[in-house]
Structure 1
Amino acid sequence: FQMALLTQEKITQRLQGLDEKPESIQTCSAWLLHHAKPQNLDIIFDTWLREVYREKSSKRLITLIWVANDVSQNSRKKGCEVANAFAPRIESALKHIRKNPQDDQVDKCVNRCVEVWESRRIFSREQLVRFESALGLKRTASQPSTSLLPESPEKAVQKPPQFDNEKMSQLERATREMAEVLRRLEKAPSSDEKIRTKLAQFPESTGNASYLQHVRNEKEARSILERTKEAAPLCKEYCDSLANEVLDRRNLQNHLNEVLDTVKLITTRNNTIIEELKKREKTMKNHLDQVERAYDSLPDFSEMELDFQHTNLPSLKDLFN
């Protein structure tokens, strides 16, 4: 028995068929986890992130977040591999939500999920810090660890830039997805001359309802109807392709922002390392100067006329007399 190939279309269909009912969310989550084999993790979570990027409805966005929450919590049965693969996508989604504010319900949902993930230790400490950073949140020292407040720019403490293998993997993933989107945009539907030529060959009456006012008899009406039926599938296919192209361009912008943020982080980190190395270099030069001055202060034995072979050294008795 061979399992059917998991495709982006199947995952998208599952996610788009969601509603806010708990059983719908749990069913979708269970289906995703069932297919969460190592070779499927990228396509599952990339498709989820794609749906987050394209979603405009607050209710639908909340539903997608609850799916992520359910998948993350139940993924512990499969080890940390699923959560580690999901974490960078969740971070990207949180950044997107912050840059594209929704209503208060979305913010409450996101904050609640982050609190639950911490209290139940779904993600690592570093991953949770990234989630909070993506949302512009910080911890308060006087409150429990699950209490989060918006970060004040005036009081925010400048932390040293952090960069590790997970961040590098996130950069590689975003770069790979950008390359894939760019390859698709090389043959963008908006520049497809063939299909545009086909559509232009249909009479204007197929797309302009005002022409129906001038229909004089049944024959003309049937003629327009037949041409409209002929043009409808082609128009629908073209419109769907254009919608996907718009989504690709939007995703490309999100990936560009993600790569830019990571490159800025790398640049800041490298500049910090350079400054630290310059300080160490300056310290080493100071030490070298001190050694050279100490060396120069030593007497030059080559200019001293000493005959060590015929000169008797003083005895211990003479030294202490």
Structure 2
Amino acid sequence: MVSESQLVKRFAELSTSQQSVETLSLFFMHHRRQSQTIVHVWAKELVSASPDKKIAFLYVANDVIQHDKRKGGEFVKDFLPILPSAIQHIVSQLNDENIHKTVRRIINIWGERQIYQPDAIKLLKTSFESGIDKKISDDEDDEEQTNGNGKRKLNDPSSSGSNSKRRRKAKRKLSLREEIRRDLAINPIPVPVVDELVKMLQELENSPSSDADVREKIAALPIEVSDSNLLKNLRDKQEATDLYKLVQMAHGLLDEYNLRLESELRSRRHTAKILQGYIQAQERQIEYEEKNLEEHKSKLVKLQTIGEEIEKHRKNMPQDVNNIDMAPLPSAGDLFAR
């Protein structure tokens, strides 16, 4: 059994070198029966890792997933719910086009080697694009809020007015149901297997939003970590240091939980889409069966009509054919006598 502290230590020693990635990958494969714990710690440490180290986490996940595909698939299954948010997080934190190309290539490899289904690959690609968009948006916000000297700009009332106008003109955000219907209209999905659908619903029963332990930890955080007005109550440097460590801990806890919640949201969106696709498939099947039923009802009516005509004809026939006077058939002698 590998403990969470051991995993944290392993991730702390991780680098982008091939040897480091393969060594950690082999370690995880050796402990693949604890795949859920490993993936949980992987996501947690990914959030707190330095930007230049985040891509190494994806390298490890990729190596583990590809090897696990041939071993049983525990990691393949357990990584999938967290991958969309993780990929978006990695891409949005790294402003390196080469790394972006690497992430895109890894996603394509998973699709080409059929490690994940096309629907999952599409979700991962969408998360990748969302990460790019988030990075661009964050960079633009930074540029708008600072001047040429790197100092923050003062708010301009006129600009805020124009911004509010632009916000009013922004398109109405679609609801989840509208998004799903639009997606299904553009990209219809194959009819899902019932067993897979049931499995997806069962996995959502143990979702992060129902993680009582984490929610209790968050609720138990002292008010000092969220109220900056209480900073004036600090009496010395030691108290400030202790509070800083507490804030860092709370930040890591919330960041990791938010990442899990984002993954849950994506999983629920994906499941909702699959459910809607299944409902549509059932509606089409019902329509087909109703049409088929009407056709057979029509055939049944025709058969009943034919049966009634046969019965009517039968009743008009003689009761005993033996009593009908019929001329005797000629004998062979009569036929050849001339």
Which residue number corresponds to residue 58 of structure 2?
65
CA distance in 2, matches of 1:118, 1:197: 47
AA aligned opposite 2:257: D
Which residue number corresponds to residue 14 of structure 1?
10
Pair 1:275–1:166, CA change in 2 (3 A):
closer
Which residue number corresponds to residue 308 of structure 1?
319
Q: CA-atom RMSD, angstroms? A: 4.1
Alignment check: 8 A CA contact 2:225 2:246 kept: no
Is residue 192 from structure 1 mapped to residue 220 from structure 2 by the alignment? yes
Once the 2 structures are TM-superposed, how far is the Cα of residue 70 of structure 1 from its aligned partner? Answer: 2.4
Which residue number corresponds to residue 76 of structure 2?
87
Which 5+ residue runs of structure 2 have no aligned equivalent?
A: 127-182, 330-338
Once the 2 structures are TM-superposed, how far is the Cα of residue 67 of structure 1 from its aligned partner? Answer: 0.7
Report the count of equivalent residues: 264
Which residue number corresponds to residue 233 of structure 1?
242
Pair 1:205–1:296, CA change in 2 (3 A):
closer
| 2:118 equivalent among 129, 133, 140 | 129
**More off after superposition, 22-31 vs 169-178:** 169-178
Q: Note the alpha carbon deviations across 1:196-227, whole angstroms, 9 max, x for none.
A: 38999xx95664xxxxxxxxxxxxxxxx54xx
Q: Note the alpha carbon deviations across 1:58-117, whole angstroms, 9 max, x for none.
A: 5333211111222234447xx522xx1222344345433665654533442234335555
Higher relative contact order structure (alpha carbons within 8 Å, sequence separation ≥ 6): 2
Which residue number corresponds to residue 23 of structure 1?
19
Task: Give the 5 Å matches for 1:1-321.
Answer: 5-36=1-32, 38=33, 40-52=34-46, 54=47, 59-75=52-68, 80-81=71-72, 84-96=73-85, 101-102=91-92, 103-114=96-107, 125=114, 127=116, 129-136=118-125, 158-163=188-193, 165=195, 168-185=198-215, 187-189=216-218, 191-192=219-220, 195-196=222-223, 207=234, 224-225=235-236, 228-230=237-239, 232-233=241-242, 236-237=245-246, 239-297=248-306, 298-299=308-309, 301=311, 304-309=315-320, 312=323
CA distance in 1, matches of 2:51, 2:226: 36
Alignment check: 8 A CA contact 1:18 1:25 kept: yes
CA distance in 2, matches of 1:135, 1:70: 17
Once the 2 structures are TM-superposed, how far is the Cα of residue 294 of structure 1 from its aligned partner? Answer: 3.3
What TM-score results when the alignment is normalised by the length of structure 2? Answer: 0.61
AA aligned opposite 1:42: Q
AA aligned opposite 1:48: W
Q: Note the alpha carbon deviations across 1:119-175, whole angstroms, 9 max, x for none.
A: 7x5xxx3625355323449xxxxxxxxxxxxxxx9xx76442434645654543343
Alignment check: 8 A CA contact 2:84 2:266 kept: no
Alignment check: 8 A CA contact 1:98 1:135 kept: yes
Pair 1:30–1:179, CA change in 2 (3 A):
same
Alignment check: 8 A CA contact 1:206 1:231 kept: no
